[in-house]
Amino acid sequence: MTVPFGWYLFLSALLFVIGAVGVLRRRNAILLFMCIELMLNAVNLTFVAAARHLGQLDGQLFVFLVILVAAAEVAIGLSIIIAIYKSHRSVDVDDLKLLKW
């Protein structure tokens, strides 16, 4: 039994919306990064589903690139969060307004 293409798109849209709501509502920097990762995974699901539906491998190449970008984002983002936590003892996004010029 194969799952219809529309179901993959619905699940991907649902995951993306959950991630977008999380980015807009959360104030914790670590949760923001988790929501961004959820949105990137939703895009990955769409690429893989479209590639399978169309019978091409191009979507899986894009997934590989998105995973590379996500890994770089996590490495740099978490290092910045750790540095901010060491200096301010908080990862609240509202506290980061103090870092403005």
CATH number at 33 reads: 1.10.287.3510
Residue numbers of the domain that contains 63: 27-92
Digit-by-digit pLDDT tens for the chain (101 residues) are: 788 999 999 999 999 999 999 999 988 888 888 999 999 999 999 999 999 999 888 888 889 998 998 899 889 988 888 887 887 787 777 766 665 65
Domain tally, the chain: 1
In a domain, 13, yes or no: no
pLDDT value for 35:
93
| Cβ contact 16:39 at 8 Å | yes
In a domain, 76, yes or no: yes
In a domain, 98, yes or no: no
> Which of 18, 24, 14, 33 lies closest to 77 in space, CA to CA?
33
- The Cα–Cα gap between 49 and 42 comes to 11
> Which of 37, 41, 60 lies closest to 50 in space, CA to CA?
60
In a domain, 85, yes or no: yes
- The Cα–Cα gap between 74 and 40 comes to 12
In a domain, 16, yes or no: no
